[in-house]
Structure 1
Amino acid sequence: MTDQPAEGDPPVSFVDEHLKAYLTSGGAEGHILDVSSAGGHALTTNCLLKVVGRKSGKTYVTPLIYGNVGGEIVIVASKGGADTDPEWYLNLVESETLGVQIATQAFEATWREPEYEERHQVWAYMTHLYPPYLGYQTATTRHIPVVMLRIVKPISVFTA
């Protein structure tokens, strides 16, 4: 990705570049990322989450690290350890269904938050996949949400 912002435009972030590559390639690029420079692993899986804004009604697509537990897709609303939940999570909570894309396949999905021992086990799994989550949790007093997605049906891959 070599597109440079025009003079006066804000710089393009890594997340923006990642999202653009994922969308423009139909998922052929962006699914596996090397996040070892951030404390993660060299082969880290990433999905795209599509939700509708709870206030704006606009559609938002966000790239997120994911895992798979018992056939459910697991994402973490870490926001890098910030004291507020990420917007995608606030929008998700207001939705019954959402879209998720993994590589070149997209799905409508429902969501839930695991509780008690299940949450503990899923959190442990996700911190193994991406160890910085442990530091994010210690950086905030907020209980970082863990979300599990269950696929409902295939849908068209997301576009830019």
Structure 2
Amino acid sequence: MGIPEVRPDPPSPLIRYGARFFSIAPGRWFLRRVGWRLDRALITATDGHLSMSATRPEVLLTHIGAKSGKQYSTPLTYFTDAGRVIVIASNYGDTRHPGWFHNVKAHSRVTLAARGYRGAFIGEEITGAERDRLFELAKQFMPNYADYEKRSGGRRIPVIAFTEAGTE
């Protein structure tokens, strides 16, 4: 796999601090309204070598709109597990799934880019005990996910695994 491996190790003090900041109202507002747009531009401009987040690994997901058929790009925090890229469809704890999740469900072939690597991947929603295991790793790795789970109004936050389909 060309996407850099990221182990879901417990967070560093810097990540814990960032998680606390982004769990308060101004931090959440920034992430939802501004941060992801800036991050997408920075990741694109630097071919995935730089991201706004110095504290967490980011992958740029390029996907096709389920209804529009248009191409979109979304920066997401990720970790790897058994050769797969794992992302969490948290939508910052909103009660609805993020748009990119619906797009990946409709068109599972996507492009992922990180740190100079770009490749074709197939996305699959993980369910059952495997989903629970991966979500627990995600909460250990990125403390915000536990907060998002509480804020989601009982929504079961999806876990998506991407497996490389071949190079572009």
Selected match of 1:50 from 62, 74, 77: 62
CA deviations over 1:86-112 (Å, ceiling 9, x no partner): 000011110131111121101111121
Selected match of 1:17 from 15, 18, 38: 38
Matching residue of 1:89: 101
Contact 2:108 2:124 in 1 (8 A): no
Matching residue of 2:160: 147
5 Å-filtered alignment, 1:2-151, equals: 13-30=34-51, 33-34=53-54, 42=55, 44-140=56-152, 141-151=154-164
In structure 2, what is the Cα distance between the partners aligned to 1:135 and 1:120? 16
Q: Which has the higher helix share?
A: 2
TM-score after normalising by structure 2: 0.76
The residue identity in structure 1 corresponding to 2:134 is: V
Across the two proteins, how many residue pairs are aligned to each other?
135
RMSD: 1.4
Runs of 4+ aligned residues of structure 1 deviating over 4 Å after TM superposition are none
In structure 1, what is the Cα distance between the partners aligned to 2:144 and 2:108? 29
In structure 1, what is the Cα distance between the partners aligned to 2:108 and 2:93? 26
**Larger Rg, first or second structure (1 or 2):** 1
TM-score after normalising by structure 1: 0.80
Structure 1 vs Structure 2: percent identity of aligned residues?
A: 22
In structure 1, what is the Cα distance between the partners aligned to 2:77 and 2:40? 12
In structure 2, what is the Cα distance between the partners aligned to 1:111 and 1:54? 14
Matching residue of 2:7: none
In structure 2, what is the Cα distance between the partners aligned to 1:106 and 1:88? 18
Contact 1:105 1:154 in 2 (8 A): no
CA drift at 1:52: 0.5
In structure 2, what is the Cα distance between the partners aligned to 1:120 and 1:66? 16
Where do 5+ consecutive residues of structure 2 fail to align? Answer: 1-32
Contact 2:48 2:60 in 1 (8 A): no
Contact 1:74 1:146 in 2 (8 A): yes
